[in-house]
Amino acid sequence: MHGPRLDLRGVPPRQTRCYSRPRNTRATGSVVSVAMEFDVRFYRTATGEEPVVKWLNELKRTQPLLERLVVTGLEKLNNGDRHGPPLTTQIDPANGIYELRVGSANIARVFFFFQPGREIVVTNGYVKQRQRLNPRELRRAQDYQRDWKARHP
């Protein structure tokens, strides 16, 4: 039996689960390829605020096409075969923080990190204004990660 899939259409859910189990198992010679599935969760502050949900709602109001691209990108995080360039890149190796990039003219970046048990925690996002990574947004993702790990040992 399958758990609910990540569905970010409309109002994003508070917590989403996609149960980890092999799927799309394919034998190629003597190698077996197994697509891994991940649980995707949104970071929640101690007061219950979900920064990425707040950002997505604002993005939907101001740039609905870009919001749709972000939602589609987040849905792809469930499938481990989709991890890696061009969709995701590790941007902070010391802390294990990655980014999801979507868009062409306007580019949105969404930060996330992995937790044991095939879990992904999505922290925050922003619309890129310059070529370089916004260091303030990266620090925010690092702060959220530290808070998450302190409250979920």
**Domain containing 144 — which CATH number?**
3.30.2310.20
Tell me the pTM: 0.76
Report yes or no on 111 lying in a domain: yes
Q: What integer pLDDT is reported at residue 34 of this predicted model?
A: 57
- In this predicted model, what pLDDT tens digit does every residue of 29-70 receive, in sequence order? 545 555 688 889 999 999 999 999 999 999 999 999 999 999
Write out the residue range of the structural domain in which residue 85 sits. Answer: 23-151
pLDDT at 78 over 90: no
CA 10 from centre of chain: 17
Number of domains comprising the chain: 1
Q: Does residue 14 lie within any of the structural domains?
A: no
Residue 11 in any domain: the answer is: no
Q: What is the mean pLDDT of the chain?
A: 81
Q: 6 lies in a domain?
A: no
